[in-house]
Amino acid sequence: MTDPVISLLRDLVAIDSVNPSLVPGAAGEAQVAEAIAAHMRRMGLDVHVQDVSPGRPNVIGVLDGIERGRSLMFCGHTDTVGVAGMEAPFNPVERGGRLYGRGAQDMKGGVAAMIDAARIARARGWRKGRIIIAAVADEEYASIGADALVGGWKADAAIVTEPTDLQIGVGHKGFACATIETRGRAAHGSRPKDGRDAIMRMGRVLNRLERLDRDLQARPPHPLLGTGSLHASTIEGGRELSSYPDCCRLQVERRTVPGEGMETFAREIDDLLGVLGREDPEFEASQTLLFSRPPYQTPPAHELPPALAAAAASAGITTTTTGMSFWTDAAILGGAGIPSVLFGPGGAGLHSVEEYVNVNDVIACRDALASLALNWV
Ligand SMILES: [Zn+2]
How confident is the model at residue 1, as a pLDDT? Answer: 83
pLDDT bucket at 377, cuts 50 / 70 / 90: confident
How confident is the model at residue 325, as a pLDDT? Answer: 87
| Distance of CA 241 from the midpoint of ligand 1 (Å) | 41
| Distance of CA 36 from the midpoint of ligand 1 (Å) | 17
| Distance of CA 341 from the midpoint of ligand 1 (Å) | 14
Q: Indicate if the pLDDT at residue 237 is higher than 90.
A: yes
| Distance of CA 183 from the midpoint of ligand 1 (Å) | 37
Kindly state the average pLDDT of the residues 258-272.
96
| Distance of CA 279 from the midpoint of ligand 1 (Å) | 43
Kindly state the average pLDDT of the residues 308-315.
97
| Distance of CA 68 from the midpoint of ligand 1 (Å) | 32
| Distance of CA 77 from the midpoint of ligand 1 (Å) | 7
How confident is the model at residue 350, as a pLDDT? Answer: 83
| Distance of CA 311 from the midpoint of ligand 1 (Å) | 23
Q: What is the mean pLDDT of the chain?
A: 97
| Distance of CA 239 from the midpoint of ligand 1 (Å) | 38
| Distance of CA 220 from the midpoint of ligand 1 (Å) | 28
How confident is the model at residue 74, as a pLDDT? Answer: 98
pLDDT bucket at 118, cuts 50 / 70 / 90: very high
pLDDT bucket at 16, cuts 50 / 70 / 90: very high
pLDDT bucket at 213, cuts 50 / 70 / 90: very high
Q: Indicate if the pLDDT at residue 287 is higher than 90.
A: yes
Kindly state the average pLDDT of the residues 219-234.
96
| Distance of CA 287 from the midpoint of ligand 1 (Å) | 29
Kindly state the average pLDDT of the residues 200-222.
98
Instruction: For the chain, give the secondary structure using H, E and C.
Output: CCCHHHHHHHHHHCCCCECCCCCCCCCCCHHHHHHHHHHHHHCCCEEEEEEEECCEEEEEEEEECCEEEEEEEEEEECCECCCCCCCCCCCCEEECCEEECCCHHHHHHHHHHHHHHHHHHHHCCCCEEEEEEEEECCCCCCCHHHHHHHHHCCCCCEEECCCCCCCEEEEECEEEEEEEEEECECCECCCCCCCECHHHHHHHHHHHHHHHHHHHHHCCCECCCECCEEEEEEEEECCCCCECCCEEEEEEEEEECCCCCHHHHHHHHHHHHHHHHHHCCCCCEEEEEEEEECCEECCCCCCHHHHHHHHHHHCCCCCCEEEECCCCCHHHHHHCCCCEEECCCCEECCCCCCCEEEHHHHHHHHHHHHHHHHHCC
| Distance of CA 132 from the midpoint of ligand 1 (Å) | 19
| Distance of CA 108 from the midpoint of ligand 1 (Å) | 9
Kindly state the average pLDDT of the residues 69-96.
96
Q: What is the pLDDT of residues 320-375, one digit of tens each?
A: 999 998 999 999 999 999 999 999 999 999 888 999 999 999 999 999 999 999 99
